[in-house]
């Protein structure tokens, strides 16, 4: 069942000094699709405006009326909206408030194995959720917004969607939709208290993963951003560790979500999340700490738990998505169905006998061999040579044999030797270093 939703809060991190976190959604995102399974309904709704947030947010937060007060949160409304805040709105927001207080925040604290007090979210330091309704003021729309530098690190803005022109009538379940957005933003709040310098790709991947997991465990629906995932899978050659919040396709949100669900699926589930929260490092270092220490990941050999190895296996999974093809089940996804739909359906760069380009750190290139082979079933032999500007550049021939096993042959071991390919085979080139690298793959037809 496909449904539309609009949704949560992307976020941008600037430098370490500015502590700038923001969650935004452009008007393009208003058309985003989210997949919802099970008994969920959903959801089309507009978002807070960019202009309003940047120019008026402080005022919006200061001129507000308290609606509900709980153990962890206070919900406020921007004062001039009170007259539009109907009985229905009140009922909706009360249900949201109760879900957040009784389910979402306790579940987040349990996942990260921290008390409310230690997490910095308790009665003395409640999270202020401020309701705004600014749809008509801009084409740049938000659903949820968190910016420690602009609003303080305990404040979230949420769009109320009261305007008549907003698609309220399509909003089949405003409670679930708002809780979904808040789960994302509350994850940001919790993580910011612990790791204020965390990198954007980690923050966003984790926040989307948590809204997905909480939706599933607390409310019985699976919801994720199909639009963003689709955008990423169309062009999976994006650096894992860079993040462009402003890209209207949302591809980097799809990328981070898929990477985090992959980590969750394979490297210890909640143990992994707990270790990630408990460690003090950020970015790839923080992930490595969690990969090293998560209890549920220890059955996989340490060498396979390195960031480089995990990213390499993830890159295979994107292409082949079949867990059976690896003894540690690392060539596929478990929790989300989306990648299956895209198997073998990537938009790839045009192929010729000399693919070359530049790869950022933790970026990969898929080079399909098929277009160079005219006969569907024929084996064709090539000699491959790969040159790059730096050492950690690696390439593999990836192919499924008759038994469904993938053979991975590092080309470094094969430079200059003939290698046979079938139509479905491809070469995966990865930059596992810390600097950008040019690559130059030469395919010489030896027949």
Phi first, then psi: what are they for 19, rounded to 5°? 45, 55
Residues in Cβ contact with 373 at an 8 Å cutoff, skipping those fewer than 6 apart: 380, 421, 422, 423
Strand order in the sheet with 406-410: 363-368, 426-431, 393-400, 406-410
Query: What does the longest C-alpha to C-alpha distance in the chain come to?
Result: 79
User: 47 or 426, CB closer to Zn ion?
Assistant: 47
Residue 52 binds Zn ion, judged by CB under 5 A: no
Q: Using the minimum distance from each CB to Zn ion, give the nearer residue, 23 or 237.
A: 23
Shortest-Cβ-distance residue relative to Zn ion? 11
9 versus 231: smaller Cβ distance to Zn ion: 9
Min dist. Cβ of residue 10 to Zn ion (A): 5
Closer to Zn ion by Cβ: residue 207 or 367:
207
Number of residues located near Zn ion, criterion CB under 5 A: 5
Least spacing, CB of residue 11 vs Zn ion, in Å: 3
Q: Name the residue nearer to Zn ion (CB basis): 11 or 348.
A: 11
Write down the least CB distance from residue 105 to Zn ion, Å: 17
Q: Note whether 215 and 177 are within 8 A (CB).
A: no
Question: Closer to Zn ion at the Cβ: 204 or 230?
Answer: 204
Binding mask 7-46 for Zn ion (x = CB under 5 A): --xxx-----------x-----------------------
Give the x-and-dash track for 165-204 against Zn ion (CB under 5 A): ----------------------------------------
Site string for Zn ion, 199-238 (x = CB under 5 A): --------x-------------------------------
Shortest Cβ distance from residue 87 to Zn ion (Å)?
Answer: 31
Q: Which is nearer to Zn ion, 24 or 366 (CB)?
A: 24
Whole-number minimum distance, CB 29 to Zn ion, in Å? 12
CB 229, min distance to Zn ion, A: 16
User: Smallest distance from the beta carbon of 12 to Zn ion, in angstroms?
Assistant: 9
Interface residues toward Zn ion, by CB under 5 A? 9-11, 23, 207
């Amino acid at each position: 069942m496909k449904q539309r939703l609009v949704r949560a809060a992307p976020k941008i991190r600037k430098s370490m000094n500015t502590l700038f976190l923001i969650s935004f959604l452009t008007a393009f995102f208003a058309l985003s699709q989210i997949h919802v399974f099970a008994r969920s309904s959903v959801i089309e709704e507009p978002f807070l405006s960019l202009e309003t947030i940047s120019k008026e947010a402080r005022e919006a937060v200061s001129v507000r009326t308290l609606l509900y007060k709980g153990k962890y949160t206070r919900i406020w409304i921007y004062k001039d909206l009170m007259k539009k805040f109907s009985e229905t709105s009140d009922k909706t927001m009360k249900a949201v408030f109760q879900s957040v207080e009784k389910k979402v925040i306790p579940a987040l604290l349990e996942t990260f194995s921290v008390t409310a007090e230690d997490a910095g979210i308790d009665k003395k330091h409640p999270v202020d959720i401020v309701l705004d309704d600014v749809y008509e003021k801009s084409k740049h729309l938000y659903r949820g917004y968190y910016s420690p530098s602009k609003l303080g690190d305990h404040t979230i803005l949420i769009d109320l969607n009261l305007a008549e022109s907003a698609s309220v009538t399509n909003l089949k379940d405003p409670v679930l939709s708002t809780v979904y957005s808040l789960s994302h933003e509350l994850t940001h709040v919790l993580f910011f208290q612990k790791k204020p310098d965390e990198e954007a790709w980690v923050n966003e991947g984790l926040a989307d993963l948590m809204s997905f997991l909480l939706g599933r465990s607390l409310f019985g629906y699976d919801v994720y951003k199909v639009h963003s995932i689709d955008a990423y899978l169309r062009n999976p050659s994006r650096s894992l560790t860079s993040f462009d919040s402003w890209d209207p396709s949302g591809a980097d949100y799809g990328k981070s979500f898929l990477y985090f669900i992959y980590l969750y699926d394979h490297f210890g589930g909640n143990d992994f999340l707990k270790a990630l929260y408990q460690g003090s490092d950020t970015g790839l270092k923080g992930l490595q700490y969690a990969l090293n220490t998560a209890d549920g990941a220890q059955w996989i050999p340490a060498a396979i738990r390195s960031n480089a190895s995990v990213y390499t296996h993830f890159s295979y999974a994107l292409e082949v998505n079949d867990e059976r093809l690896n003894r540690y089940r690392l060539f596929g996804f478990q929790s989300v169905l989306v990648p299956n739909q895209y198997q073998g359906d990537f938009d790839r760069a045009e192929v010729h006998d000399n693919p070359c380009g530049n790869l950022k750190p933790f970026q990969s290139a898929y080079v399909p061999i098929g277009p160079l082979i005219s006969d569907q079933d024929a084996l064709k032999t090539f000699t491959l040579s790969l040159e790059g500007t730096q050492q950690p550049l690696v390439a593999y021939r990836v192919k499924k044999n008759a038994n469904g096993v993938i053979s991975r042959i590092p080309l470094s071991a094969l430079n200059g030797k003939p290698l046979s390919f079938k139509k479905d085979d491809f070469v995966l080139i990865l930059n596992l270093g810390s600097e950008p690298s040019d690559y130059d793959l030469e395919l010489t037809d030896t027949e």
